[in-house]
Amino acid sequence: MDERLCLLALRLVPGIGPKRITALLDRYGSAQEAWRARGTWDEVPGIGTALAAAARRVDERLVETHWHRLAAMGARVVTSGDADYPPGLHQVPSPPPVLFVKGALPPAAQPSLAIVGTRRASPYGLRTARTLGRDLAAVGVAVISGLARGVDTAAHRGALDGQGTTVAVLGSGLDVVYPPENRDLMEEIAVNGALVTEYPLGTQPQPGHFPARNRIIVGLAQGVVLVEGSRRSGAMRTVAIATDCGREVMAVPGDADRWGSDGPNHLVREGAALVRHAVDVLDTMGWAAMFPAMEIAAGCDPEQVPGLQDVTARLLVALQASATLTIDELAAMVEAPVGTIVGALIGLELAGRVIRLPGGRFSLPR
């Protein structure tokens, strides 16, 4: 077997995870040599006789069957030595040597942001996460989250609303739907982004998998926004990893007496950037001038995005005719997709040509 198949073989051994794979690679120099020498694994610190015996029960046929099952479902193996291995993962604790991916990973040059929070989100948290996901995806930011109930699901759905890219990091195998109600969402994400996991096919979600997958969420993102969650929540552990890895940490403020606002409000008090909407994220991350939609709205070269200048002009005409309008109202009047409307509106907002009002409404400056 070649190096990539041998890495897959190592990952298929029960009890062998990233730390132990790294120990084996350090000891033997390559996955191929480690696999050939699995009869001597009991000599490697941290491996022992039980894991060495488990390795001997994983044969070449099992490895190749797993490989073909992945291919049959449109998925693939990405190893730490591959060109499309996300570079940010090298900065997290115990980088996963093997990823299982279904869909297209965002290019390294594409801005990416993790939106995280509690599974028990309030209506405010769900609405905010979905709006952030939609608006950021509409202007070209890849939205990263964990497919859990609550904030994660809302962020992914928002990114799809914005016709953009979203990546879901799973705590199970690619063939295990969790939570079960997100089956259709998983399929949509695989088409409009990627499903990513470090767990082989058939792996069921376990409590310990989710804290581990949080480091992958951080590794795929350049910044993290906490929408809701207590200071003891799993989302706050994601924030802690992000801080240790030098990622920008942002938070959505909330009511002082709501338990889910405890984590974000604490972060803001400690100096995290406050996020009300997508423009705050773009400003904080320094992304405000990176997207053609914003350049056109500010009066730059319209040829970069054919048709967008016309949408921008029609938005301004619609806002001149009405006092205030929501995004859905503007989309109906301008007869353009919501994702296009959002991108143009954010550009106009950054250029100071429209203002955002409470309740998600927009108007011209007075």
Q: Which domain CATH number covers 201? A: 3.40.50.450
Give the pLDDT of residue 310. Answer: 80
- Do 128 and 265 share a structural domain? yes
Q: Do 281 and 305 share a domain, yes or no? A: no
Same domain, 175 and 311: no
Choosing from 263, 285, 307, the residue where a domain stops is: 285
The half-sphere exposure of 275 on its side-chain side, counting CA atoms within 13 A, is 33
Beta bridge partners of 224: 114, 249
Q: What is the per-residue DSSP string for 130-174?
A: HHHHHHHHHTTPEEEE---TTHHHHHHHHHHHTT--EEEE-SS-T
Residues linked to residue 102 through DSSP beta bridges, in sequence order: 75, 195
Residue 255 lies in a domain: yes
Same domain, 128 and 274: yes
Q: Are residues 123 and 158 in the same domain?
A: yes
CA 245 to the chain's CA centroid = 16
Indicate whether 296 pLDDT > 80. Answer: no
Are 152 and 121 contained in the same domain? Answer: yes
Could you tell me if residue 107 is inside a domain?
no
pLDDT band at 347 (very low <50, low <70, confident <90, very high): confident
Domain range holding 134? 112-285
Instruction: State whether 264 and 328 are in the same domain.
Output: no
CATH code for the domain in which residue 305 is found? 1.10.10
Give the SS3 label for residue 195: strand
Residue-wise pLDDT tens digits, 126-163: 999 999 999 999 889 999 999 999 999 999 999 999 99
Cα–Cα distance for residue pair 117/146, rounded to 1 Å: 10
Choose the final residue of a domain: 232, 260, 285.
285
The CATH number assigned to the domain holding 13 equals 1.10.150
Q: What are 52-93's pLDDT values in tens digits?
A: 999 999 999 999 999 999 999 999 999 999 999 999 999 999
Q: Are residues 214 and 187 in the same domain?
A: yes
- Per the structure, how many domains does the chain have? 3
Q: What does the alpha-carbon distance between residue 304 and residue 292 come to, in Å, rounded to a whole number? A: 7
> Are 312 and 203 contained in the same domain?
no
* 261, 303: one domain: no
For the segment 206-212, the average pLDDT, to the nearest whole number, is: 93
Question: How do residues 39-53 score in pLDDT, each as one tens digit?
Answer: 899 889 889 889 999
In a domain, 240, yes or no: yes
- In sequence order, which residues have a C-beta less than 8 Å from that of residue 296 and are 6 or more positions away? 302, 304, 305, 308, 309, 312, 344, 347
